[in-house]
Structure 1
Amino acid sequence: MFLLLGVFWALLSGQFHNNFLIVAGVLCITFIVWISRRMGVLDDEGVPARFYPRTLLYLPYLTWQVILSNWDVFKRIWSPSLPIDPRMAWVDYSTRHPFVTTTYANSITLTPGTVTVIVEERRMLIHCLTPDAESGLKEGDMERHVKTLED
């Protein structure tokens, strides 16, 4: 947690030469980690650090899916011949860990043309802009990729 917050602080602040700000950042991060530990939020549920390395490997796939979906939505907006047929669809999933399920639901929402509305025990209600988006989710390619986080 300390390392993740330190990298995040360094990226956002850009302060690498001002000793006072570096020391202040380290002290603030130390305090945040200490208080988080006292509150009991530094567990596998609150900070599932074991998933982070594989999540970095999942991000290129997700980025590519967002690009493809953006292009599809862009084409449908500018071309009246391409149909837009919104629908609500139930999509089954089989992820085991809440972090992976949340990542899957958020990945669906980040992908233009789909929004996760409800997450139940073994299925999600998804708003899809097109029948193609629905069938793509039901084929399970994104689920297969996100489930690699659990392996």
Structure 2
Amino acid sequence: MCTKRNWSSCKLRVFALANKRDELELEHRNMASLLAKFRIDYTDLQVVPDITAKPQESTQRFFDSLIADFRTEDKANTSDSVYVSDAELLAIKDKTNRHLRLRELLLEHSSEANMVVVTLPIPRKNIVSAPLYLAWLELLTKDMPPILLVRGNQTSVLTFYS
């Protein structure tokens, strides 16, 4: 992208999510090393430590409004992919909260960006219903600059030698 005139002067800021707050420096060094191995020039690298924090109430309300028309309490409809059941929400509550927090972080750090590249959430067949998955996508993209959602197929396409 940096070889194209439209994007050549853009800054690349990299945000990586950390699992453990006490290993931020190690995560930062590891990500910087990986970017260097692939010769990716970046302007800023930030490791985000609080992805598991509880989302704000306003973000939760926005998510609830997205799935309101698809909610059901009926246990018999859990196999029907046009409904979001209480059991489904409870089963993947942590993953949903992660997407809620990611929305907050995207709005905080990238709302003025020219383009944002985000890893596409992986849909799990027979685990995540279609309305819930689409609500996750809406969370990540609504009120944002252009977003490129990328997803691999778990096949390595780049090779580097250390």
Q: State if a TM-score over 0.5 links the two structures.
A: no
Q: TM-score, normalised by structure 1?
A: 0.34
> Which has more radius of gyration?
1
Q: TM-score, normalised by structure 2?
A: 0.32
More helix by share: 1
